[in-house]
């Protein structure tokens, strides 16, 4: 059960006074960060119907109530331990998992935890203005649910830093509140987390594709030999599922509405004329967030990834579904791009672990796009959405110095620059989206013209429930 202390937790925090004091010292800084960098305009006078974990079992982690955002009960929740858990991969396969950080892996583990931790507040910062342009109270509530949980995921990483990395860990926890998304001098660590998310199509694509990178990275960290990291990330994954639901259903509802508007306007008409979001614009935003999220998996050939795997720090998603968990002399067939053409070469599998995880990720994204296309099919549309080729618009890894179209065909830099807005959002696309989102919809049960209502409300409540209310 989660205790009702100043910092809610299921790690018996009160038995470790030093740690408790250190985290209680960090807590007001976190709240200040949330007030300054969290949802703008919704800090003091609004109550939001959110889900808060009160225990980590299936009954307790989905407890719903109205809260004022800065009063959300952010805390430290670890999934229950697995008895006699053993290391599942790498050179220490089969040995008992670690309850403390081995000195020789301290730097690598700290780096992984800091990188993961950095993404969480970054996403809250990226989304802080969206509340003022929301398509409905239902969506506004979902945005805030995602935001408070990202805040809690930061707590999860800060707990690990404070508990297992001493002074360095405490310093890193401070810096997690100092870097800022998009800040020129102190940006967030990974590129996708410095991109602005100022319209709701970007938000839904981000929660569909970038949160899904969160899922693949958290799945691989949940395999870690460091048991507290594994237990922390396992519980984070239960929350992450809702974020992808928000993204997938958000885009699905836009598609649904676009189809309706196209029927209304006559199929050959520009749906923008009646305030809808046309399919090419949806495809461009898909291209943008999918390619940025491919970058988040790191380089195709990575000695960092090989050593994370060898040392048992970061495994593969669903490690237990693989036959070989040591992977000492296996090879991965990888496509390289040399002298303008693709060549397949064998790479030691351990060095290809970023790519193995990316393969899992691409498959998971493709399944989502297939579900979206069913909507277009149902409405009798011939248009289809598709994932661009992996080489398209890459800034990390071996394709980063080259240019490709969404089919993977190589292009010169000039041609790519000339044609990029056929495939990626342009300034005028952003302006159009901002223009149809300029007026927020705060009336219960009402939805902006460009998006269909959801099939059902939250926690079996009606769609017209007042999910966010102003205080009397």
Span between the terminal Cα atoms of the chain, in Å: 33
Is residue 342 classed as helix, strand or coil in its secondary structure?
strand
Shortest distance in whole angstroms from residue 324 CB to ligand BYC: 21
Cα–Cα distance, 150 to 123 (Å, whole number) = 7
Query: 93, 326 in Cβ contact below 8 A?
Result: yes
Contact residues: ligand BYC, CB under 6 A? 112, 115-116, 119-120, 123, 150, 190-191, 210-211, 213-214, 217, 295-299, 302, 304-305, 314, 354, 396
Question: Which CB, 218 or 448, lies closer to ligand BYC?
Answer: 218
Query: 152, 9 in Cβ contact below 8 A?
Result: no
Query: 390, 406 in Cβ contact below 8 A?
Result: no
Query: 214, 252 in Cβ contact below 8 A?
Result: no
Q: Which long-range contacts (CB under 8 A, 24 or more apart) does 11-16 make?
A: 11/76, 11/78, 11/159, 13/76
Cα–Cα distance, 98 to 411 (Å, whole number) = 49
Question: Which CB, 70 or 299, lies closer to ligand BYC?
Answer: 299
Say which residue the tokens 């056929």 belong to: 422
Cα–Cα distance, 369 to 359 (Å, whole number) = 15
Backbone Cα Rg of the chain: 23
| Short-list 193, 194, 125, 119, CA closest to 156 | 119
Shortest distance in whole angstroms from residue 75 CB to ligand BYC: 18
Question: Which CB, 116 or 163, lies closer to ligand BYC?
Answer: 116
Cα–Cα distance, 129 to 46 (Å, whole number) = 15
Cα–Cα distance, 268 to 281 (Å, whole number) = 16
Question: Which CB, 271 or 352, lies closer to ligand BYC?
Answer: 352
Shortest distance in whole angstroms from residue 107 CB to ligand BYC: 11
Shortest distance in whole angstroms from residue 181 CB to ligand BYC: 11
Shortest distance in whole angstroms from residue 274 CB to ligand BYC: 33
Shortest distance in whole angstroms from residue 296 CB to ligand BYC: 5
Cα–Cα distance, 336 to 331 (Å, whole number) = 15
Specify the DSSP class assigned to residue 96. B
Shortest distance in whole angstroms from residue 113 CB to ligand BYC: 8
Question: Which CB, 118 or 383, lies closer to ligand BYC?
Answer: 118
Residues whose CB falls within 8 Å of the CB of residue 304, separated by 6 or more in sequence, listed in order = 298
Question: Which CB, 139 or 211, lies closer to ligand BYC?
Answer: 211
Cα–Cα distance, 470 to 472 (Å, whole number) = 6
Question: Which CB, 197 or 375, lies closer to ligand BYC?
Answer: 197
Shortest distance in whole angstroms from residue 272 CB to ligand BYC: 29
Shortest distance in whole angstroms from residue 218 CB to ligand BYC: 6
Question: Which CB, 141 or 188, lies closer to ligand BYC?
Answer: 188
Question: Which CB, 43 or 304, lies closer to ligand BYC?
Answer: 304
């Amino acid at each position: 059960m989660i205790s009702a202390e100043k910092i809610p937790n299921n790690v018996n925090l009160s038995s470790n006074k030093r740690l408790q004091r250190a985290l209680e010292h960090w807590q007001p800084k976190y709240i200040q960060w949330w007030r300054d960098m969290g949802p703008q305009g919704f800090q003091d006078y609004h109550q939001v119907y959110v889900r808060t974990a009160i225990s980590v079992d299936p009954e307790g982690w989905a407890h719903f109530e109205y809260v004022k955002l800065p009063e959300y009960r952010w805390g430290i929740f670890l999934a229950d331990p697995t008895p006699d858990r053993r290391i599942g991969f790498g050179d220490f396969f089969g040995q008992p998992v670690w309850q403390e950080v081995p000195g020789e892996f301290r730097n690598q583990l700290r780096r992984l935890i800091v990188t993961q931790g950095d993404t969480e507040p970054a996403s809250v910062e990226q989304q802080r203005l969206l509340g003022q342009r929301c398509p409905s109270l239902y969506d506004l509530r979902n945005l805030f649910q995602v935001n408070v949980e990202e805040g809690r995921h930061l707590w999860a990483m800060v707990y690990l830093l404070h508990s297992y990395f001493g002074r360095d860990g405490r310093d890193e926890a401070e810096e997690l509140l100092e870097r800022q998304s998009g800040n020129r001098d102190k940006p967030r660590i990974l590129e996708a987390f410095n991109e602005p998310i100022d319209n709701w199509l970007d938000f839904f694509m981000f929660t569909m594709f970038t949160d899904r990178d969160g899922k693949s990275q958290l799945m691989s960290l949940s395999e870690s030999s460091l048991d507290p990291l594994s237990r922390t990330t396992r519980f984070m994954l239960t929350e992450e599922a809702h974020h992808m639901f928000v993204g997938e259903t958000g885009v699905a509802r836009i598609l649904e509405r676009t189809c309706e508007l196209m029927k209304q306007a006559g199929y050959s008409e520009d749906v923008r004329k009646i305030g809808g979001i046309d399919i090419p614009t949806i495809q461009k935003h898909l291209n943008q967030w999918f390619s940025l999220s491919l970058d988040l998996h790191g380089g195709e050939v990575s000695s960092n990834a090989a050593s994370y795997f060898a040392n048992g720090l970061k495994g593969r998603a669903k490690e237990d579904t693989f036959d070989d968990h040591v992977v000492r002399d296996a090879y991965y067939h990888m496509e390289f791009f040399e002298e303008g053409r693709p060549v397949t070469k064998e790479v030691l599998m351990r060095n290809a672990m970023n790519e193995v995880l990316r393969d899992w990720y691409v498959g998971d994204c493709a399944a989502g796009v297939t579900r979206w296309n069913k909507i277009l099919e149902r409405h009798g549309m011939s248009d289809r959405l598709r994932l661009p080729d992996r080489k398209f618009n890459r800034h990390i890894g071996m394709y980063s110095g080259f240019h490709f179209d969404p089919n993977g065909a190589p292009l010169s830099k000039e041609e790519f620059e000339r044609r990029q807005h056929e495939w990626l959002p342009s300034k005028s696309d952003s302006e159009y989206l901002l223009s149809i989102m300029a007026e927020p919809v705060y009336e219960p049960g009402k939805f902006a013209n460009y998006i269909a209502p959801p099939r059902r409300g939250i926690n079996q409540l009606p769609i017209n429930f007042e999910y966010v209310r102003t205080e009397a």
